[in-house]
Amino acid sequence: MDEPCAPEIVRDAISGLLAVVGKSADDLNAFRDAVSKAHIGTLPPFPRASLLITERIVDDLKRVERDLRDVLVALGLVP
């Protein structure tokens, strides 16, 4: 079983996490806005390597979502 952390360590960790999540949310929204406004039919050919990157990003974001949920559970914010 994990040893509990001191409250000040938890506060610092959560504070850092919130800052990163906020910045990431802004960056992801900016990316989404830019891509959604693009005319997909007029884009240059999409390299296969870029397709693999998009698949990796989806997998990474799913993992982050699971990890964030684990943090919520650890904080007692969700069952």
pLDDT per residue over 1-39, tens digit each? Answer: 578 889 999 999 999 999 999 999 999 999 999 988 887
User: In this structure, are residues 17 and 71 in contact, taking their beta carbons and an 8 Å threshold?
Assistant: yes
Cα 42 → chain centroid:
29
Give Cβ neighbours of residue 68 (< 8 Å, ≥ 6 apart): 21
Say how far apart CA 54 and CA 13 lie, in whole Å.
29
Q: Can you give the pTM of this predicted structure? A: 0.81
Identify the band that residue 42 occupies on the pLDDT scale cut at 50, 70 and 90: confident
Q: How large is the average pLDDT for residues 41-70?
A: 91
